[in-house]
Amino acid sequence: MSAPNRNTLWARVLADAWALLGVEHVCVGSGSRSAPLVEAFARDDRFFVHPHVDERSAAFFALGVGAATGRPAIVVTTSGTASANLLPAIVEASQGEIPLLAVTADRPASLRLSDANQTIDQVRLFGGYPRYDVDLALPEMTEEALTRLRMTASEAWAATLGPAHGPAHVNVQFEKPLEPTLVPGDVPEGWVANRDPSSDPMIELAPRADASGALRRQLAHFRRPLMVCGPAHDPEWGRAALRLARAMGAPLIADPLSGARFGPEAEAYTVGGADLFLASDRVAEALKPDVIVRVGAAPVTSATVLRFLGRQHPGAPAQVVVAPAIRFNDHLGVASHALVGDPVSTLDGAGGAARSEDGWLARWRALDEAVRQAVAPAVGGEWFEGAVAATIADLLPAGATWFIGNSMPIRDVDAFAGRRTAEVRTIGLRGASGIDGNVSAAIGAAVARGKPAVALLGDLTLLHDVNALFAQRRIDVSLQIVVLQNRGGGIFHMLPIREHDPPFTPYVVMPHAVDFAAVAQAAGIPHRPIASLDVLREALDVGFGVPGIQMLELAVEREQNWERRNAVVARARTAAEGAL
């Protein structure tokens, strides 16, 4: 490897190290100080490089890639506030356990705490959220320094992948020249050009521990087991939970992002209507598990499931949390046992330890079926947001990507989409549950997976990241953005503040008058208004075969939607109580 100056060589060594580790996607923002890094990635055909005007959008696009593939994408920024714009995505990556590699260009350390232009303190810029955070010194042309640089690249990559996935931050200082111009004597001749970079030490990730023996012992004497799988960054966790549920004859409560709601065995063991029937105190009281096995993040999408878990006191029943690292996802403080181990091998190895008593699984399935029949007329024909979620779930082809936005969309999917036999990859940003960057993340996930994709988003979520639609990029896969246009924040109708207006409507709901058809036209994106479930079905079916981004806008009146949702929920609760 050779280069015209030390900055160029430094950046190319970093790029080469990450390419050898399998990194494929790089998102770059515009700027000057990052020029050596951008040049290194752009000239290397092992990378797909995605340009972004907005660094926040770039970071969330990279986050979508990480969520979809389980491997980190790189986001590169110039110095100053460009770097600071990565913080929301880094927070989400940390909380949601999504691999992300942030590479920020910086001015020399000697300029920090001075009045030098575009210079901020970028050391530990993202606080305690990165799993790994390093401030590289200015490029040094020694064999030892370049070997250490490659090791740093490897360490940062490894930190994103375990044991708890998350973000890593590499801050790279550069002095001018920033362009690949020749600087005589800057790079020693001979040894650099002839080096074999593969001879440098590289990090290999060892398999995580298997805690199946400990889990098997915990399950040995129980006869009413319940599996709970929250959002999981690896869908294999949900599939392993399904396999253990089958082995024990246990019901499985699965979050939409768990990997256990949409797949061949979900129909037999996954409880799709738990959010609805556990809302009844009578039903919740009648279901008495003697052991609960939890995997993935806490199931925060459903307040009723959380309440059900919270009312179970430690030890009665036993609640066993399986986690790959010491992050036990137990903010309720009800876990009786916490096992550190690889969730897949741990759950798979615990099968056969216990078998549920006769009728235990059937009791849950009967309640689930009663709820399904009670809501079927509404989700099949009424015009409300829950029916939209159910319709999309019905139509998604096997292998498709479903990005589910925060606020009400994810809750409606949880409550009304039930479970499906088609294996669909569901993705969402539930670590910090913000609405920022959802459009960028959806595009990143669609591009990375290369499968037909749908994004279900609220109108405020789309507005918060509307700049993502204007990035100049070619999308070779179908991505249909279904936007629920209710002129504001419909989720806030769940709060007691709705009874106080003002301030409710102007300052909490924040109604808007943005014309999404005009936005789509300006971005060069096909737009189609949708006014019925039949039209939605037809539009989605046709859209799966059309590459590129399309926008389907569904106008829903907030108050009417809330009334219909409450009526369907009440109907489901009554049906569940009648099935006891």
Domains and CATH numbers, the chain: 6-199 (3.40.50.970), 212-366 (3.40.50.1220), 385-555 (3.40.50.970)
Average pLDDT over residues 179-201: 71
| Ramachandran bin of 483, using left for φ above 0, alpha for ψ from -120 to 50, beta for the remaining angles | beta
What is the distance between the alpha carbons of residues 56 and 416, in angstroms, rounded to a whole number?
32
DSSP 8-state assignment for residue 468: G
> 471 is written with which tokens?
């990035």
In terms of pLDDT, which residue wins out, 327 or 220? 220
3-state secondary structure 373-441: HHHHHHHHHCCCHHHHHHHHHHHCCCCCEEEECCCHHHHHHHHHCCCECCCCEEECCCCCCCCCCHHHH
In this predicted structure, the answer to whether residue 448 has a pLDDT above a threshold of 60 is yes
Angle between helical axes of 55-69 and 438-449 (0-180°, round to 10): 40
Distance of CA 256 to the CA centre of its chain: 12
In this predicted structure, the answer to whether residue 233 has a pLDDT above a threshold of 90 is no
E strand segments, 126-174: 132-136, 167-173
pLDDT band at 193 (very low <50, low <70, confident <90, very high): very low
- CB of 473 within 8 A of CB of 102? no
E strand segments, 196-317: 225-229, 252-254, 270-271, 291-295
Q: What is the average pLDDT value for the chain, to the nearest integer?
A: 91
In terms of pLDDT, which residue wins out, 320 or 199? 320
62 Cβ contact list (under 8 Å, min separation 6): 25, 27, 72, 73, 74, 75, 89, 100, 101, 444
In this predicted structure, the answer to whether residue 495 has a pLDDT above a threshold of 70 is no
pLDDT in the model for residue 511: 80
What is the distance between the alpha carbons of residues 443 and 403, in angstroms, rounded to a whole number?
9
pLDDT band at 198 (very low <50, low <70, confident <90, very high): low
pLDDT band at 194 (very low <50, low <70, confident <90, very high): very low
Task: Indicate the range of 151-160, 181-190, 237-246 predicted with least confidence.
Answer: 181-190
What is the distance between the alpha carbons of residues 392 and 390, in angstroms, rounded to a whole number?
5
Question: In Å, what is the CA distance from 210 to each residue of 226, 264, 294?
Answer: 21, 26, 16
pTM of the model: 0.93
What is the distance between the alpha carbons of residues 228 and 236, in angstroms, rounded to a whole number?
14
Predicted confidence (pLDDT) per residue in 523-558, tens digit: 999 999 999 999 999 999 999 989 999 999 999 998
Average pLDDT over residues 118-146: 93
- CB of 410 within 8 A of CB of 428? yes
Buried b (16+ CB within 10 A) or exposed e, 335-346: bbbbbbbbbbbb
In this predicted structure, the answer to whether residue 310 has a pLDDT above a threshold of 60 is yes
In terms of pLDDT, which residue wins out, 401 or 201? 401
In terms of pLDDT, which residue wins out, 153 or 489? 153
Average pLDDT over residues 52-71: 96
- CB of 454 within 8 A of CB of 403? yes
Of 146, 58, 413, the closest CA to residue 255 belongs to: 413
pLDDT in the model for residue 126: 97
Q: Which of 142-156, 185-199, 328-342 has the highest mean pLDDT?
A: 142-156
In this predicted structure, the answer to whether residue 505 has a pLDDT above a threshold of 80 is no
Q: Which of 118-127, 489-498, 570-579 has the highest mean pLDDT?
A: 570-579
